A and B are shown apart, each in its own frame.
Chain A
Amino acid sequence: MSSQALDRFLDPHVLARIDNLELLSRSVVGGFINGLHRSPFLGLSLDFAEHRAYMPGDDIRRIDWRLYARTDRYFVKEFEADTNANFVVLLDISSSMSYSGQGLSKLDYGRYLAACLTYLVREQRDRVGLMTFDNSVVDYVPASAKHLEIILHTLNRIRPGKGREGSLKDPLLRAADRLRRRGMVAVISDFYESPQAVMDAIKPLRARGHDLVVFHVLDRNEIEFPFVDAGEFEDLETGVQLPVNPRDLGDRYRTAMRDHLDELTRVFRENEIDYSRHDTSEPLDFALFDYLSVRQRLNRVR
């Protein structure tokens, strides 16, 4: 990937803000970036976790000979591995994401966000992966410490298109199948499904033990519905047109949207899934800040 393509996503101004945020997070956590992510797995590491009885097949190099000398029994030492975690971004690229009312399109906003998150996570020496989807998986970049450029390239060649219907259930189910190793999963979407359907789609990931972070990207027009003139409103995913007089329907739409967002917030909270909503007119680092804040809180709890 050319440096120009990288620059497109890694805006120096954005990165500067993120660097500051990184410094802030370090000072809060008191460690380095790689110390922010505590691995959920036990493995080879300097931090001892526990002893267990030797089982045939275990590596004899891991036998604690000192303990054998005291107890005359074979024990294997296990350590809490401070290993590189998997961080996978699931990016919704359905046609509804290509809407741009005020400022960036949701798709651009989403991939900028994905790029920044990926870069930030990679700076923490974690392994990064990417999956784009509409109503099925479109592109999948497995998590790896070396896949940053591939991810950025994949994000770069996403093209918005009409008629690309979105659905969470099937692609997220497939993601759950592929992401066998527990890690952190960031879902970026506009979630045009019922909150219950969203939750049903996300549950398989949750069941795999992934830490989920949900970024709900919306355009401000979708929230405020500022339209005045009547017209044929066209669904970007299905192409269906509907005559709409905003003067008549505006209030009811805003109410419906507000109820939808409230319900989403509620179900995510109940399922202990980090959920943050961003409109495309907000600075991008707001989302990153929210993410790091959430991570900080989780680390503190853990």
Chain B
Amino acid sequence: MSLSFLVPAFLAGLLAIGVPILIHLSRRQTQNQVPFPSLMFLRKIPHQTESRRRIHRWPLLLLRCAAIILIVLAFSRPFVETSSGTSPVPGTGDRELVVLVDRSYSMGVGDRWESAVAAATAAIDGLSGGDRGTVILFDANAESATESTTDRNVLRAAVRDAEPGARTTRYTPALRYAGRILAASPLPRHELVVISDFQRTGWDADAGEIATLRLPMGTTVTPIAVSDTSTAANVTVAGVEFAREMVEDRERVDIVGRLTAAGPVPEEVLVSLVVDGRTIETRPAQLDGGSASVRFNPLTLSASGSTRATLRIPDDALGLDNEFHFVLGSDQRVGALIVDGPGADAATSYFLERALAIGNDPGFRTQIRNVSDLQAADLAENSVVILNQAQLPSGAVGDRVREHVESGGGLVLVLGDNAPGSWPGVLPSVPGAVDRSGSGGMAIGYVDTGHPVFESFAGPRTGDFGAARVYRYRPLPDGGFPRVLARFGDGGPALAERPVGEGRVLVWASTLDGRWNDLTLQPVFLPFLHQLVKYAAGYTPPRSWMTIGEAIDVQQIVTAGEEFSMALTPGGDQIPLEPAVPLALEEVGFYELRDADAPDRALSFAVNVDPGEADLSAFDPEEMRTGLLAATEATAGTSGATLTLADRERQQSGWWYLVIAGFILLIAETLFSNRTSGKTRADPSPAR
């Protein structure tokens, strides 16, 4: 048990004790002036100054000094360190060693991994007696390869069996894990060995979290760098871009590969495009300024299924980033089924069809049916059903439409002359049309720019809905829909939405054929319609590749209604798929989803490494040591829990009692001083 101070600098205030001492030595003389007829005899008597400067009124002086001491101690924030809360004494006793070994894919460069294994083994060999050790392998995650053990063979085996992975480097999870192990250790000495190539990208990514790390007080941090700058040259296939277009019902894709380079790399690199396992084209890429792009001839995709493709460059120091895999789906367009009402003519869906025929990102695939001819099978290929001035069908077709919506599809009702139809709880009854043509029509007065349909119009000069004139509309009842996305100039709802099941229903209260309004003639019509259909379809851009380390929900990448029972990894392993359990992507290459009941049906997706790891530039390990030193100084371990000095002092709060005691002494000093001063004034110096 020992006394410590949180702010020991305040102890310098103890020098203030000299003030009352000086006052007691000096003020006594100035206060007690004794007139005397003549100093003739006193001057003749030899005496020493020290004897004249004797302290008087000792109790008052001691009272004042004690008050000052207590208040100074209070400001220094004292606390008692008990033996259970003290940090280990450095240099004595057994040692708890945690070895962090970087296994990110950058460790595969040159002989980095071999160096890391050797360094880790050397650190383990340094254990002796009752020392304990733990090996933690880390990349973006931290995994304990062993429990804390005194068996060095176990530790060596853990290091020997490890190998670099395909993930990126993150230091914080591993350091936090190590901190917990060290804090829980009962051993008096703590040591942390970090073996890594100390990639700058990983350290920068952790910059905001380093300050939150806590290591037990007295922990020795030893960073061991295994990076070799001579092998740092690396070219990476960082990504790929596509430009799709439909040519005679076949989709054609322009593929542009992007490359990045670091270190002394060659000026030109050959890039090969491999499609379904066959190299179909190789083009040179000129590395200029550390990056390059290479365009391949357009690739025409098959009418169905998906196409696996890979961009590949020759081997260099780091192999994993020399390939970039992606999958091109056969048809990425959004299917929209336009259902016209009875008596519709060609003009009824003209604007809809024409507007949806434009655009490639994504493209729209439209199909027009009359409500009287609508079949349940028509819904299969389309994500959105647009009832263009047609009632919701009754009977089996109507039920199919409802099922379609409830399972995630979209339904857009363009009311016009026709009532919405019957769907209790979803579609309210709508009265007859309101005619505003007599007053010259009205504008669309409000759009909800916070909604995905209108969010692209939130910025300035992104479209003016107020330019459109609306002459007739059917008044939707207020409260009939949970959310109104747009309103006419008179306040009536123009566009309303109701979620149903996993899908959604949107109702447009006028027409989209140019008869009841001129919105179709406005520049905003095309983007508005595209956004409306994409939102109704629940469209998300398809991902042509994933990044390793992700955990994906399979249901989000499969088409509605499709089910798969297992995933086949690039290495050939089979992973059974379970509902609500994400699939962790641990390998680079092409995964394949399959269903045991339908062996012919499969869905592929590609997984690549994070190209950020390809930047092999390193930081100074001393940065880490310094950062962790600060974390260590601000930390004290106690009973497995980590308490800072401030926390411990705050728990004890001894300063509060010192302040109270100090002020009590000051009050006593005031009373005592007044009493003695009054007595002194009333009592002349000579003793009668």
A interface with B by C-beta (< 8 Å): 95-97, 99, 101, 106, 190, 192, 219, 221-222, 226-238, 240-245, 248-249, 252-253, 256-257, 260
- Contact present for B56 and A99 (CB under 8 Å): no
Q: A99-B36, A236-B36 are in contact. List 5 more A-B contacts (CB 8 A).
A: A229-B56, A231-B34, A232-B33, A233-B39, A236-B38
User: Given that A226-B687, A227-B685 are known contacts, is A237 also in contact with B38, CB under 8 Å in the complex?
Assistant: yes
State how many angstroms separate the Cβ of A78 from the closest Cβ of chain B.
50
Decide yes or no: A221 and B686 within 8 Å by CB, A190-B37, A235-B38, A236-B35 being known contacts. Answer: yes
CB atoms of A231 and B33 under 8 A apart:
yes
Q: Which residues of chain B from 392 to 414 have a CB within 8 Å of any chain A CB?
A: none
Cβ-based interface call for B83 (8 A): no
Instruction: Give the docked Cα–Cα distance between A257 and B44 (Å).
Output: 11
Size of the chain B interface, CB-CB below 8 angstroms: 29
CA distance A235 to B42 in the complex (A): 10
A-facing residues in B372-410 (Cβ within 8 Å): none
Chain A's nearest CB lies how many Å from the CB of B45? 5
Whether the pair A235, B36 counts as a contact (CB closer than 8 A) is yes
User: Closest Cβ of chain A: how far from B44's Cβ, in Å?
Assistant: 6
**Bound complex: CA A244 to CA B43 (Å):** 10
Does B32 make an interface contact (CB < 8 A)?
yes
- Report chain A residues within 8 Å CB of B28: 230-231
At the interface, yes or no: B52 with Cβ under 8 Å from chain A? yes
Interface 1/0 per residue, B645-688 and A, CB below 8 Å: 00000000000000000000000000000000000000001111
Measured CB to CB, the closest approach of chain B to A52, in angstroms, equals 53
CA distance A237 to B35 in the complex (A): 10
Report yes or no: B32 in contact with A231, Cβ–Cβ below 8 A.
yes
Compute how far the CA of A249 lies from the CA of B37 in the bound complex, rounded to whole angstroms.
Answer: 16
Judged by a CB distance under 8 angstroms, whether B456 is at the interface is no
List B100-152 residues whose CB lies under 8 Å from chain A: none
**Alpha-carbon distance A248/B40, docked complex (angstroms):** 17
Known: A227-B685, A227-B686. A232 touches B42 (CB 8 A): no
Most buried by A among B33, B36, B45: B36
Tell whether B250 is near chain A: CB-to-CB under 8 Å.
no
Contacts of A97 in B (CB 8 A): 37
Q: Tell me how far the C-beta of B50 lies from the nearest C-beta in chain A, rounded to whole angstroms.
A: 10
Using Cβ atoms and an 8 Å threshold, which residues of chain B touch A233? 34-36, 39, 42
Say yes or no: B685 contacts A229, CB within 8 Å: yes
Q: In the complex, what's the smallest C-beta–C-beta distance from B547 to chain A, in angstroms?
A: 89
The answer, among B30, B35, B54, B687, for a CB contact under 8 Å with A245, is: B54
11 contacts across the A-B interface (CB closer than 8 A): A96-B38, A101-B686, A190-B38, A192-B38, A227-B34, A229-B685, A233-B35, A233-B36, A234-B34, A243-B53, A253-B45
Q: Say whether chain B's binding surface is mostly helix, strand, loop, or mixed.
A: mixed
Interface presence of B47 (CB below 8 A): yes
Chain A, Cβ-Cβ closest to B36: A233
Task: Check A249 against B45 for contact (C-beta < 8 Å).
Answer: yes
Which residues of chain B come closer than 8 Å to A221, judged between CB atoms? Answer: 686
Q: How far is the CA of A276 from the CA of B51 in the complex (A)?
A: 37
| Cα–Cα distance between A44 and B31 once the two chains are bound (Å) | 66
Give A221 to B35 CA distance when docked, in angstroms.
11
> Considering the complex of A and B, which 7 residue pairs feature the smallest CB-CB distances, nearest first?
A231-B32, A96-B37, A192-B38, A99-B37, A256-B41, A243-B52, A228-B687
A274 to chain B, nearest CB (A): 23
What separation, in Å, do the CA atoms of A200 and B533 have in the docked complex?
134
CA distance A260 to B40 in the complex (A): 11
**Cβ contact within 8 Å between A232 and B41:** no
Among the listed A229, A230, A244, which residue makes an inter-chain contact with B42, where contact means beta carbons less than 8 Å apart? A244
**In the assembled complex, B360 has its CB within 8 A of some CB on chain A:** no
Using CB atoms, name the residue of chain B closest to A234: B35
Among B37, B43, B685, point to the contact of A242 (Cβ < 8 A).
B43
B51 to chain A, nearest CB (A): 5
Please tell me if the beta carbons of B45 and A232 are within 8 angstroms of each other in the complex: no
What chain A residues lie within 8 Å of B42 (beta carbons)? 233, 242, 244, 249, 253
Q: From B680, which residue of chain A is reached at the shortest CB distance?
A: A229
The answer to whether B522 has its CB under 8 Å from any CB of chain A is no
Decide yes or no whether B565 CB sits under 8 A from chain A.
no
Q: Which residue of B is nearest A241, CB measured? A: B33
Question: Do residues A230 and B37 form an inter-chain contact, with CB atoms below 8 A?
Answer: no
B422 at the interface (CB under 8 A from A): no
Q: Is the CB of A192 within 8 A of B34?
A: no
Option from A226, A235, A238, A245 in Cβ contact (under 8 Å) with B686: A226
CB neighbours of B45 from chain A (8 A):
249, 252-253, 256
Q: How far is the CA of A281 from the CA of B453 in the complex (A)?
A: 116
Interface string of B513-549 (1 = CB under 8 A from A): 0000000000000000000000000000000000000
Of B32, B40, B687, B688, the residue contacting A230 (CB under 8 A) is B32
Report whether B686 and A228 are in contact in the complex, using a CB–CB cutoff of 8 Å.
Answer: yes
Chain B nearest CB: distance from A267 CB in Å?
Answer: 17
Q: Which residues of B contact A232 (CB under 8 A)?
A: 29-30, 32-34
Q: How far is the CB of B23 from chain A (nearest CB, A)?
A: 15
Min CB–CB distance B43 → chain A (angstroms): 7
B687's closest neighbor in chain A, by CB?
Answer: A228
For B39, B54, B687, the residue with the greatest tally of chain A CB atoms inside 10 Å of its CB is B39
Please judge, given known A-B contacts A226-B686, A228-B685, whether A257 and B41 are in contact too, CB under 8 Å: yes
Q: Could you tell me the distance between the alpha carbons of A57 and B296 in the complex, rounded to whole angstroms?
A: 168
Measured CB to CB, the nearest residue on chain B to A162 is B35
Report B-chain residues with C-beta under 8 Å of the C-beta of A228. Answer: 685-687
Of chain A, the residue at the smallest CB distance from B40 is A192
Which single residue of chain A is at the shortest CB-CB distance from B41?
A256
- Given A231-B29, A243-B52: A256 touches B39 (CB 8 Å cut-off): no
A245→B34 CA distance, assembly (Å): 11
Residues of B within 8 Å of A245, CB to CB, are: 47, 51-52, 54
CB distance from A93 to the nearest CB of B (A): 13
A248 touching B685 in the complex, CB below 8 Å, given contacts A96-B38, A99-B36, A233-B36: no
Chain A residues near B685 (CB-CB < 8 A): 227-229, 231
List residues of chain B with CB within 8 A of the CB of A249: 42, 45, 47
- Are B54 and A230 touching (Cβ within 8 A)? yes
A190 to B30 CA separation, bound complex (whole angstroms):
28
Q: Is there contact, CB below 8 Å, between A230 and B29?
A: yes
Name which residue of chain B comes closest to A248, CB basis: B51
Within 8 A of A (CB), among B431-449: none
Are A230 and B686 neighbours in the complex by a CB distance under 8 Å?
A: no
Q: Enumerate chain B residues within 8 angstroms of A257, measured Cβ to Cβ.
A: 41
- Of A219, A222, A234, the residue contacting B33 (CB under 8 A) is A234
Known: A226-B687, A228-B685, A228-B687. A235 touches B39 (CB 8 A): yes
- CB-CB under 8 A from A96, the residues of chain B are 37-38
The answer for the CA separation of A233 and B42 in the assembled complex, in Å, is: 9
A237 nearest in chain B by CB position? B38
Q: Across the interface, name the chain B residue whose C-beta is closest to A106.
A: B37
In this complex, what residue of B is CB-closest to A194? B40
Q: How far is the CB of B543 from chain A (nearest CB, A)?
A: 95
List B1-55 residues whose CB lies under 8 Å from chain A. 28-45, 47, 49, 51-54
Distance in angstroms between the alpha carbons of A148 and B52 in the assembled complex? 50
A91 to B377, CA, bound (A): 145
